[in-house]
Structure formats: structure tokens, C-alpha cells
Amino acid sequence: MAGIEAAETVDQLTPEMLTSGEWDDVEFAEYNVEADAPEIEGGRKHILRQTADRAKDVLVGMGFQEMDGPHADADFWINDCLFMPQDHPARTHWDRFALDVPPIQELPDQLVDRVESAHREGVGEDGDGYHSPWDRDFAEAVALRGHTTSLSMRYLSGFAGADIEPPKRYFSVEKVYRNDTLDPTHLLEFFQIEGWVLAEDLSVRDLMGTFEEFYAQFGITDLEFKPHYNPYTEPSFELFGEHPTTGEIVEIGNSGLFRPEVLEPLGIEADVMAWGLALERLLMLMYGFEDIRDVHGTLCDLELLRETEVLQ
């Protein structure tokens, strides 16, 4: 309209406007505080890693010290020290990830000799070994660890430099690798909660009590135990928990007391109770996940991971 001068509208106050005084002669645009803005998804620690950290805190609170060691190791530490025969099906390419790399030849020779003797002839007066071929080259071959018990063997043997005078408690919460068939409860890699206690006069009752104390920290109090066979522990049993959504009984771990064929070559005279628990299955019992692939792997549900908070 004639005689009316439109005021200049700006949406940003600049240093130049402040310096020149121009800001006093302009009209600033109003901000629409109700306008939608693009959501920015910041990074966060994965729920599995958060739960792993919590498991570590619980075990430290129970008096355990943490172990660490290589993901790729000599088969000697992964299987031979555990009295696993070299012709066991779990030691074939069907179940393990062998690596085409130079062998690990820096093994303690005296321990190697004792382990070989245990495999061939057994230990003690009544012992009986496998009477099957035992090849040091196979023991030196490198594979991805199928369980973190390889760390336990390194520590119990003293090779890792740890003091192994009883009583001792050690744990690890680390990744392991198995050539499994993918399904709702199995992946090619997963996290294992490894632990062992070295002390005099241990029993299955002590082992069960340790599990009850550990899982109670996560609100899981209804555990079931089933006798089981392991080449390296006797007695042995598996652990089970009830899935909160489906009511299905889910295997969550394996455990037992190490056999003399494992302990005598290591020079251990006290008892050792040990276990390997599945972190992902602990997660399933805590949150009701039915498929482990929803939280771990290439098919994971990112929206679920963003929205899920760690239960305290």
C-alpha cells in the first residue's frame, strides 16, 4: 500500500548487525517452537555390552578377578589341556574355525608332555587315557577359541603369570566362536561368562550356590540343573532357566568340577569348579527376547536396541 514501508524481516542475528546497530531497525522472524525437527540418533553402548559390564560388576562383587587372553590361540590351550581327545568331533572343521596362520610353538614343554601323557595313558593308578594318536603339530595349530576355558587353562597352569595358590576366583566375559547352525538360540559368535574357583573340598553344592547367587542379581531365581557329560569335568551339569514370555526351559550354561586328567598335568592339587554361561541367553531371560538375532548380528532390530534400557 502507498505510504506504508514494509519492515525487513530476518531470521538470524549476526555479529555485524550487533556492531552496526542494524539489529534495532529490523524485524526478527518468530520461531515456531512447535515445529518438528529431524531426530538425531546418537551412539550408545549396545545392550549386550551393557549387560556384560553388569555381569562383570556382579562377579567382582562376588570376589572374582578378571582374566584376559587371545581370541585366536593354540589348540593346546583350547582343547588339549581340557582332556579333549584330538579325534573328538568338536575338534574338526565342522565345529571350529581353524586359521591358516603359523602355529604357536611357544608352549611349555613339560606341560605339553604331561598333557600328552594324560591323553595317552590317563593319570593316577586307576587312570586310563584315550590310547589314541596325539600330535603336537595339531596342538600347536591356531584356531578361534570355541570357549573361553582356554583362558582358564592359561591361568591355572601359571602360564599367564597369575598366582594360583588357593583360594582363587577368576572370570571373563568375552567372545567365543563356533561353527554352529544359525537359529533363534545359536550364532557363530557369542559372549561366554567364564568362571572358576580354586579351593579345597569343593562340591556340586558350592557350584549350584554360586549360580543361584549370580543369577539372583538379575532377578532370575528359578534355575534347573541337569546332569551332563563333559570330557573335562566330573561331575558335570547344565543350567536351565524359564523364558518369561514363552515359558520354555532354555539352556543357559554348562559346568562341573575339573577332572584329575585336567588338573594333575597343570600341577593343581586342590579342587576347581568351573563354568561357561551364555550372556545372550541371560539377556533372553531378562528381557523376554525369543530370537537372539534380534539383539546381535546382521539381522538385529535397531529400533529395539535404541529403546531397550538395561534392567537394574
Give the domains, in start order, of the chain with CATH numbers: 47-73+142-307 (3.30.930.10)
Residue that wins the pLDDT comparison between 249 and 89: 249
Residue that wins the pLDDT comparison between 55 and 7: 55
Using alpha carbons, select from 75, 129, 116 the residue that is nearest to residue 98: 75
Say if residues 311 and 219 touch (Cβ distance below 8 Å).
yes
Q: Quick check: 4 pLDDT over 80?
A: no
Structure confidence at residue 312 (pLDDT): 59
Tens digit of each residue's pLDDT (9 = 90 or more) over 137-181: 999 999 999 999 999 999 999 998 888 889 999 999 999 998 877
Structure confidence at residue 282 (pLDDT): 92
Say if residues 282 and 298 touch (Cβ distance below 8 Å).
no
Q: Quick check: 309 pLDDT over 80?
A: no
Alpha-carbon distance of 286 to 280, in angstroms, equals 10
Structure confidence at residue 279 (pLDDT): 94
Q: Quick check: 57 pLDDT over 70?
A: yes
Q: What is the mean pLDDT of the chain?
A: 89
Q: Quick check: 1 pLDDT over 60?
A: no
Q: Quick check: 276 pLDDT over 90?
A: yes
Q: Quick check: 231 pLDDT over 70?
A: yes
User: 217: buried, middle or exposed (CB in 10 Å: 19+, 13-18, 0-12)?
Assistant: middle
Q: Quick check: 211 pLDDT over 60?
A: yes
Structure confidence at residue 9 (pLDDT): 78
| DSSP tag of 31 | P
Tens digit of each residue's pLDDT (9 = 90 or more) over 104-145: 999 999 999 999 999 998 887 777 788 888 999 999 999 999
Structure confidence at residue 94 (pLDDT): 67
Residue 195 CB contacts under 8 Å (≥ 6 apart), including other chains: 59, 64, 169, 170, 171, 172, 210, 274, 275, 277
Q: Label residue 248 by pLDDT band (50, 70, 90).
A: confident
